[in-house]
Amino acid sequence: MLDIIMDILFPQNVCCICREPGRFGSRHPWCEHCQGEMNIMQSSLPVCTHCGKYLETGAGLCKDCQQMPPQFNIARAVGPYEEPYRIAVKVLKFLGRKYLAQKMGEMMVEVLKNEPDFWPIDIIIPVPISPGNLKQRGFNQTELLAAQISRKLRIPMDINTLTRIKETPSQRELTKEEREKNLLCAFEIKEKRKIYRKNILLVDDVYTTGSTIRECTRVLLEAGGNRVSVITWATGKGF
């Protein structure tokens, strides 16, 4: 309801991705051309069967999954972390256009519905952002996406059980090993009974190295979760 009011009060007169003029809002935040491009990218690239990273050649497992298989059951994204997917997440995250989460969540639900390995799902948990980022941005974009997925699938979302307890410095400058060390003990489970024997859907905006997702999965399974599967808006490339 609030979305409709917001659309009326603040209509968007350009596509949030390519800036093409038109009338846009929470149901159609971008133009048909951009949507078409997203659809083509979605079906044209092979992915790692386990973590969902986009592979240059052929299907199968990416190098990371071959060397150290992730503990999660399956991970998939709507599309590769390239334009226009990359722009969409940046507009949501950095420009604070929260209404984008509606369409993005809808497209994530489509991926879930088309992949039997995700099911059953008992509970939806967004990857928490650091308290510093939350304070700076005012919202957790991943929680907005998870809320949309929860609403559409009618499966409860839990934002209090998996928490980020350690302020981690920017991951970008670190090597893979440093990154994993940096994340160790960054997450904590508040009430184990909430996830005990549950089939958990973990939600994140972008899957890049997978270190964060791997660490969250480890913590959730150690606390008694039955199974973890992962959905993200976009995923990077693997080898």
Q: Which residues bind Zn ion (CB under 5 A)?
A: 15, 17-18, 20, 30-31, 34, 48, 50-51, 53, 62, 65
Instruction: Give the position of tokens 């509970």.
Output: 123
Question: In this structure, which amino acid lies at residue 105?
Answer: G
Instruction: Tell which residue, 229, 225, 156, has the closest CA to residue 196.
Output: 225
**Rounded least distance, CB 43 to Zn ion, Å:** 19
- Are the C-beta atoms of 220 and 197 separated by less than 8 Å? no
Distance in Å, CB of 86 to Zn ion, minimum: 14
Residue 210 tokens read as: 């997978």
Shortest Cβ 61–Zn ion spacing (Å): 6
Residue 221, C-beta contacts closer than 8 angstroms, at least 6 positions apart: 71, 228
Q: Residue 100 Cβ, how far from Zn ion at the closest point, in Å?
A: 13
- Least CB distance from residue 62 to Zn ion, whole Å? 3
**CA-CA distance, 32 to 37, in Å (whole number)?**
9
- Name residue 183's amino acid: L
Closer of 79 and 128 to Zn ion (Cβ): 79
Closest to Zn ion by CB, 50 or 194: 50
Q: Of 14 and 153, which CB lies nearer to Zn ion in the complex structure?
A: 14
d(CA 43, CA 74): 18
Please report, for residues 42, 57, 59, 200, the alpha-carbon distance to residue 46 in angstroms, rounded to integers and kept in the order given: 9, 7, 5, 25
d(CA 38, CA 57): 20
Of 75 and 186, which has the nearer Cβ to Zn ion? Answer: 75
Our CB check for Zn ion shows the closer of 20 and 122 to be: 20
Return the number of the residue (54 or 150) whose C-beta is nearest Zn ion: 54
CB of 33 to Zn ion, least distance (A): 5
Query: Which sign does the torsion angle of CA 88, 220, 72, 208 carry?
Result: positive
